[in-house]
Amino acid sequence: METFLFWFCGAAMVLGGLMTVVQRSAVVSAVWLIFAFVAAAGIFALLHAPFVAILQVLVYAGAIMVLFLFVIMMLQGPVLEGERRRMKPALWPAVAIPPLAVLVLVGTRIADHGTAAFTTPLPAGFGSPTHVAELLLGRYLLAFELISIALLVAIIGALAIGKEERKLPWK
């Protein structure tokens, strides 16, 4: 079962990622990205991280991607046209070689050393909200604070950039 789900979610995720990159229309790209994220949530669930899996859907699919779609629709015109120019064919190898090289390296490494299985047994309640919360408010309190600061800064930053809301006093 786990094997099947892994291959299913993994394939879906990679497909989603690829289509995101390949599609010319930004909206379609975004929809494929959502697809990839939902598949990634499946992978998280398989990795015994249910809390993270659901957050992945809630935060990415529910909020971040809605923001993306919103902005794409707002800036309609030029974005709709998609990519106008193609990359020069001469540059294709330059783009393609590094990832391929990495994949080849990884492939040889696996061929040499085989695969490493998960060995450590998991405690009960691993990855549950309680577990993550205890860590978040205990050992990783600094991280928690950093998260809040990052979000605060983001809020202030976004407000500062977008604050010039256009008021049109026509009347």
Partner 1 sequence: MEVTMTHYLVLAALLFLTGMTGFIVRRNAIVMLMCVELMLAATNIVFAVFARAHADGGGHVFILMNFAIAAAEAAIGLAILVEIYRRRRTVNVDDLKALME
Partner 2 sequence: MSQKLVERLQREFGADILATATNHGDESVTVAPERLRDVLAHLRGKEGCEQLSDVVGVDFPGRDRRFQVVYLLRSWAKNHRLQVKVDVAEDEAVPTVSDLYRSADWAEREVWDLFGVPFSGHPDLRRILCHHEFEGHALRKDYPIEQGQECSRPEKLFTDADVARAAQRATAVVSDPGGVVDEVHPSDLLTVNIGPSHPATHGALRAELLLDGETILEARTEIGYIHRCFEKEAEDHTWAQVMPYTDRLNYCSAMLNNSIYAMAVEKLLGVEATPRAQAIRVIVSELSRIIDHLVCVCANLVDIGALTNYWYLYNVRESIYESLEKLCGSRLTTNYARIGGMSHDLYDGFAAEIGHKLDQLLEGHSDVMKLVARNRIFLDRTVGVGVIGRADALNWGYTGPCLRATGLAYDLRRHAPYSGYEQYEFDVPTGEQGDTHDRIMVRMAEIIQSRSIVLQALDKLPDGPLNIDDHRVVLPPKRTVYDTIEGVMNQFKLVYEGIRVPRGEAYGFGEGANGELGYWCISDGSGRPYRMKVRPPCFPVFSSYAQLVQGGMIPDAIATLGSLNIIAGELDR
Partner 3 sequence: MEAMYAFFMDKAGMGQAGAHVTVAAIMATLMFIVMALCALVFTWMERKVAAFLQSRWGPMRTGRWQGWAQAVADMLKILGKEDIIPAEADKALFIFAPLLVLLGSLLAWAAIPWAPGFVAADLDLGLFYIFAVSSMVIIGILMAGWASNNKWALYGAARGAAQMVSYEIPLALAAIPVVMYTGSLNTQDIVIAQQGGIWNWFIFRNPFLFVSFFLYFVASIAETNRGPFDMPETESELVAGYHTEYTGMRFAFFFLSEYANLFLVSMIAVLLFLGGWWAPIPGLDFLPAALTFVIKGVLMVFLNMWVRWTLPRVRVDQLMHLCWKVMIPAALICTVGAGLWMMASGAAG
| Residues forming the site for partner 3 (CB under 8 A) | 1, 4, 25, 27-28, 31, 34, 50-51, 54-55, 57-58, 61-63, 65-66, 69-70, 73-74, 128-129
Q: Which is nearer to partner 1, 2 or 171 (CB)?
A: 2
Number of other CB atoms surrounding residue 14 within 10 Å: 12
Q: Is 36 a binder of partner 1 (CB under 8 A)? A: yes
In angstroms, give the least distance from the CB of 53 to partner 1: 9
Q: Is 166 a binder of partner 2 (CB under 8 A)? A: yes
DSSP H helices, 26-91, are 26-46, 50-55, 65-74, 76-80
Q: Is 76 a binder of partner 2 (CB under 8 A)? A: yes
Binding residues for partner 2, total number by CB under 8 A: 9
* Residues 72 and 26: beta-carbon distance below 8 Å: yes
| CA quadruple 36, 37, 42, 46: dihedral sign | positive
Q: Is 171 a binder of partner 2 (CB under 8 A)? A: yes
Query: Please, which of residues 76-135 interact with partner 1 by CB under 8 A?
Result: 78-79, 82-85, 87, 95-96, 99, 102-103, 106, 110, 115-123, 126-127, 131-132, 134-135
What value does the CA radius of gyration of the chain take, rounded to a whole number of Å? 21
Give residues with Cβ within 8 angstroms of 127, minimum separation 6.
48, 49, 50, 51, 52
Contacts to partner 2 by CB under 8 A: 76-77, 164, 166-171
